[in-house]
Homo-oligomer: A and B are copies of this chain.
Amino acid sequence: MAYVDIVTALALLQFIAFGMQVARARGKYGVHAPAVTGNEIFERHFRVQQNTLEQLIVFLPGLYLFAHYFNSLLAAGLGVVYLIGRQVYAASYVKEPQSRSAGFGLTVLPMVVLIIGGLIGAAIHLARS
């Protein structure tokens, strides 16, 4: 499971990095807490972070379910696709929100495979026991 654990740690460090970009954008564009609106570029950084949060809550359990019922190396490989997809998503979203679809797809696809795979694996396990 060490490969899967490394992908988990990297995905969380990536999320922390997105959070640091939000903090920097807060200062740079003068958006004072508790506000989270008021500057378009700040809002793009903020939405990248929030959307990544929404994906992590699915991605991480999916990673472990898939690794447990199928194959941990394949799970980690799908995780690497997710990590790259998130970088593409973040960069394209900040540049132009309407161009975020490609990066988004690259993270949704492995995420859905992990979770559907985990569900099928658990159901097969149950049927056989």
> Which residues of A are in contact with B by a Cβ distance under 8 Å?
2-3, 5-6, 8-10, 12-13, 15-16, 19, 32-37, 40, 43-44, 46-47, 49, 53-54, 56-58, 60-62, 65, 68-69, 93, 97-98, 100, 112, 115-116, 118-119, 122-123, 125-126, 129
Contact = CB atoms under 8 A, between A and B. Distances in A.
Given A12-B61, A34-B40, A34-B93, 16 more contacts: A3-B126, A5-B122, A6-B122, A8-B61, A8-B118, A10-B119, A12-B62, A13-B119, A15-B57, A15-B58, A16-B58, A32-B97, A34-B46, A49-B54, A56-B57, A57-B60
Tell me what chain A mostly uses at the interface: helix, strand, loop, or mixed: helix
9 contacts: A5-B69, A5-B122, A9-B62, A9-B122, A12-B61, A15-B57, A33-B44, A33-B93, A57-B57
Contacts of A68: 5
A77 B8 CA distance: 22
Q: Could you say which of A6, A15, A19 has the most chain B C-beta atoms within 10 Å of its C-beta?
A: A6
A69 B2 CA distance: 10
